[in-house]
Amino acid sequence: MKYIFVIAATFLASSCKEGYLDINKNPNDAVSSTPELVLSAALNATAGQLNPNQLGHFWAGHWSPSGSVSGFNGEKTYDIPGTFYSAIWTSSYDNLADYDYVEKTATTNKQLAFVGITKVMKVLVYQRLVDTYGNVPYSEALKGPAILRPKYDDAQTIYDDLVKQLEAAVVALKSPITAENPSPGAADIVFQGNLTKWVKFANTLKLRILLRQTNVASKASAIQAGIAKAVTDGGFLGVDENVLSTPGYLKTAGKQNPFYENYGFTAAGTLSGNHDFYTNADFFIKTLVNANDPRLDRFAVKANDGAWRGVPFGEGSDPYLYAKTSGFGPAILKGYDQSQVLMQSAESFFLQAEAAFRGYLTGATAQSLYESGIKESFKFLGVTNAATAATTYYSDQAAGSYTVASNKLEAIITQKWIALGAFGGFEAWAEFRRTGFPKVPLSTRAVGTKQPARLLYPNQELGTNSDNVKAQGTINQFDTKIFWMK
């Protein structure tokens, strides 16, 4: 009885303390963090999201499942359910919530450098959501318990605001670094606190968003004005200014570069479980072979019989076992600590080349910008004597010559498509949907004669936000086009 009394007395004496013995609270759970910690994690998460790029590489004609794996029926047939690649939706909004936390906290703390970076990254993620689904939650998104069922905003309206957000980001990024507005420093695993490069990234992302709307006739003047402002606000990513995430990968399970660990090798040096499931598509390999492109043996390796052989998308089984195909090459699977790619400088030059071709950009010719894009791609892939090899390549009338190309836009987009191989599948798919270039063949197992225009809203969204999903009308993956498509 003595011990019971002591315990009871202790409880009574302490019961006035709020939260005492509250079993619903974990004292080890962090309830807050700092912009520095969350920014690094959010940047790493964005760079490590493989689902959008994998699907993009399939549907843009870069990759194919090999004959060493069954499945991938939705990818090959285009007959997709509401569960198809739903991680694009969930991981994007999770990622956006982290950036939103940093932006709001940094705004309160007047840490404008952090505000600018998070605005840029939120635009990057939101654009991908719009390019995947069209109308999505935007103005009422990320409100937490305050708004559990956010409305869907018009995709064009979201795009217009994304441009404004990037312009606001540039203003914040140009604010002087002071004790009150510190440099992100090591928390910035992309540019290590180099805000000038963040400004260029913001402007290049803005250029991508503006050019995505070239099929919308009413946007011509806005595209012109937006590009002109980007030029005066600091310009675009230039030579060797690739946007890479380098958090410091380790040769440890779960801490390697996620691309390398998923498609390449384990920390122990053995083949990853997925290694033999993915290979290069027949369309991609033949495009490079036919142009005698020196990037071929950087993107791919020869099949075990010494041939260059990709898989016609939709095919499989024994003729296309992984060893019988041209798998990923040395520039793709470099090592456990290779950087993750957010944007290449090559893409920046190809965007500028298109802008110059359309008359939106002056000061450099479309041809010179196009050729600079090819050089940047050769360098990024590690082609031997890259600058000389690139010059030889784009001077070859049968390969990458701009001057003899009968369709200049097709030449620009095709070279961008090559540069994006293995590093920007989603972007390549978006550009194919916008321009029709290059002429990616249908899957051999396609249901019907159309390429997919978009994904369907995820089933879990229909279950938790059904009224707002249903308000979007009947959605079809072939005929419900994103607003910027032809």
Strand partners, 136: 153
234-265 pLDDT tens trace: 999 999 999 999 999 999 999 999 999 999 99
State the pLDDT at residue 252: 97
State the pLDDT at residue 363: 95
State the pLDDT at residue 32: 65
CA pair distance 413, 228, nearest whole angstrom: 22
Query: What's the Cα-to-Cα distance from 238 to each of 349, 406, 462, rounded to whole Å?
Result: 7, 27, 43
> Quick one: what percent of the chain has pLDDT higher than 90?
92
SS3 letters across the chain: CHHHHHHHHHHHHHCCCCCCCCCCCCCCCCCCCCHHHHHHHHHHHHHCCCHHHHHHHHHCCCEEECCCCCCCHHHHHCCCCCCCCCHHHHHHHHHHHHHHHHHHHHHHHCCHHHHHHHHHHHHHHHHHHHHHHCCEECCCCCCHHHCCCCCEECHHHHHHHHHHHHHHHHHHHCCCCCCCCCCCHHHCCCCCCCHHHHHHHHHHHHHHHHHCCCCCHHHHHHHHHHHHHHHHCCCCCCCCCCEEECCCCCCCCCCCCHHHHHHCECCCCCECCCHHHEEEEHHHHHHHHHCCCCCHHHHECCCCCCCCCCECECECCHHHCHHHCCCECCCCCCCCCCCEEEECHHHHHHHHHHHHHCCCCCCCCHHHHHHHHHHHHHHHHCCCCHHHHHHHHHHCCCCCCCCCCCCHHHHHHHHHHHHCCCCCHHHHHHHHHHHCCCCCCCCCCCCCCCCCCCCCCCHHHHHHCHHHHHCCCCCCCCCCCCCCCC
The long-range contacts involving 249-258, CB below 8 angstroms and separated by at least 24 positions, are 249/336, 249/337, 249/338, 250/336, 250/337, 251/336, 251/337, 256/336, 256/337, 257/335, 257/336, 257/337, 257/338, 257/339, 257/340, 258/48, 258/50, 258/340
In the chain, the largest separation of any two C-alpha atoms, in whole Å, equals 99
Instruction: For residue 385, give both structure tokens.
Output: 């004597």
Identity of the amino acid at 457: Y
pLDDT at 18 over 80: no
Q: What is the mean pLDDT of residues 283-290?
A: 97
State the pLDDT at residue 1: 37
pLDDT at 419 over 60: yes
pLDDT at 69 over 70: yes
Identity of the amino acid at 300: A
pLDDT at 8 over 70: no
State the pLDDT at residue 397: 83
State the pLDDT at residue 180: 94
State the pLDDT at residue 26: 46
The verdict on whether omega for the bond into residue 312 sits within 30 degrees of 0, i.e. cis, is: no
352-370 pLDDT tens trace: 999 999 999 999 999 999 9
Nearest CA-CA partner of 102 in 90, 92, 113? 113
State the pLDDT at residue 22: 38
State the pLDDT at residue 13: 37
Residue 75 CB-half CA count within 13 A: 24
Q: What is the mean pLDDT of residues 104-114?
A: 97
Q: Would the pTM of this model clear 0.75, i.e. be above it? A: yes
Please tell me the least confidently modeled range out of 4-13, 98-107, 122-131: 4-13
State the pLDDT at residue 21: 32
Q: Phi and psi dihedrals of 232, rounded to 5?
A: -75, -20
CA pair distance 264, 194, nearest whole angstrom: 31
Strand partners, 311: 281
- CA dihedral (201, 213, 92, 51) positive or negative: negative
CA 447 to chain centre: 27
Query: What's the Cα-to-Cα distance from 31 to each of 28, 105, 252, 358, 399, rounded to whole Å?
Result: 9, 13, 29, 51, 57
Mean per-residue pLDDT of the chain:
93
Q: What is the mean pLDDT of residues 440-462?
A: 97
Sort residue 122 into left (φ over 0), alpha (ψ -120 to 50) or beta.
Answer: alpha
pLDDT at 16 over 70: no
pLDDT at 11 over 60: no
pLDDT at 207 over 80: yes
pLDDT at 14 over 80: no
pLDDT tier, 7 (very low <50, low <70, confident <90, very high otherwise):
very low
Domains in the chain, ordered, with CATH? Answer: 38-249+338-470 (1.25.40.390)
